[in-house]
Amino acid sequence: MAKNNLWTLLLVIFMALTACTKDGNTIYQTNPDEEKPSTAPLVTVIYGPNSLGDRAYCDKIYRGIEATASKRGLRTLHLMPESMEQGLTYLEMIFQQMESAQDSVRRLFIATSPVYDDFIRKNNRRLEHNPNADLLYLETTTPLEGKGSTLYIDYYGAMYMVGNLINYLWTNKLLLVMANPYIQSVVEASEGFLEGYHAAIPEEQKPLYIRYLSDEPGGGFQLADTTALRIFEEYRENESDDVCLVPMCGGAGNAFFRILPQASYYVSIDEYVPVSRCYCYVTVFKNIDKVLNDYIEQWENGTMPKHQTLGLADGGTDLDFPEGTVWLERENVYADSVRQVAIRKEAEHANR
């Protein structure tokens, strides 16, 4: 019943947005006494399947866009499909509406996930028929051919710092959990972490274990708590065995956070996540909310860049250590030197 209601609602929205058939015959007539529809610019966002509520990247995108829209007087529409198939249906509806709109309303469509890469690259030229329609595609380093801008925020340098400095944490083992070996942002962040880890003083290195949650493109971002517990216990030999969790797996990281034993260490990715009776070693985050605020302003001004890659060097990413981290209070100079190396490594990686 809920699904039927959803599709009915979508049909009503779509009809209200299009207003006319392709032949120009009116199928929807407003009451002249009713308030006229808003002509404020519209920002539509589509997320990966079941990704909102991840307490991380997607939630930060949502809050950032809503704050910007409120400040700038924009309308917003956020779409989170329950499946890849539903996401593709949403995309087709959006592209149909944007390419055929006859009004002068400015529309920006933001695609947040690379799982839609094939559809976007095959269809973005359809928006060229509407001078008021624009596209911003996140999490790709490959610019679009034809209409649309792309943005990539690179975790390589920030995760290099984490991989290097985490060796000084008082814990027995490190567990790097990755969603899958196909998503570029996950793979490159993990590569940065590993390079930083291996660059540490050899006698300081902790045993490191690496685990993928899925071998499917787009998989590994959702996980049952029971599965997370089983995986974590595989690397924990006894109750006194401290394993520090580094979760590069989006919303699946929440399942691990819920099963962490008392007094465990962990790394927060994208946003600080408090875990009861456990210790967050460091939060690594993308300033996606601030970046999107800048992009929306540039879009309104007609200056949105064709492509941009941001990282540690320019504030696209950063680290936040909890107050009272012992080594940081003692070794600030060392941490600063690692940052400079990480920025250099980030640039070298981008030029490969």
Which ranges of the chain would DSSP assign to H, the alpha helix? 2-18, 57-72, 84-100, 117-123, 156-165, 184-198, 225-234, 253-259, 288-301, 326-330, 332-350
**The pLDDT value given to residue 11:** 45
Residues contacting residue 81 through CB under 8 Å, at least 6 positions apart: 46, 47, 49, 50, 87, 89, 90
Spell out the per-residue pLDDT of the chain, length 352, in tens. Answer: 444 455 545 544 554 444 443 344 444 444 556 566 788 999 999 999 988 887 788 999 999 999 999 999 999 999 999 999 999 999 999 999 999 999 999 999 999 999 999 999 999 999 999 999 999 999 999 999 999 999 999 999 999 999 998 988 878 899 999 999 999 999 999 999 999 999 987 767 889 999 999 999 889 999 999 999 999 999 998 888 899 999 999 889 999 999 999 999 999 999 899 999 999 999 999 999 999 999 999 999 999 999 999 999 999 999 998 865 555 545 565 778 899 999 999 999 998 8
- Can you give the C-alpha Rg of the chain in angstroms? 23
**The pLDDT value given to residue 205:** 81
**The pLDDT value given to residue 226:** 97
> What's the pTM value of the predicted model, to 2 decimals?
0.84
Nearest to 77 by CA among 45, 109, 104: 45
For residue 306, count other CB atoms closer than 10 A to its CB. 9
**The pLDDT value given to residue 278:** 94
Q: Which two tokens stand for residue 33?
A: 């006494």
How long, in residues, is the chain? 352
Please say whether the beta carbons of 14 and 98 come within 8 A.
no
**The pLDDT value given to residue 329:** 47
The Cα–Cα gap between 98 and 126 comes to 9
For residue 180, count other CB atoms closer than 10 A to its CB. 19
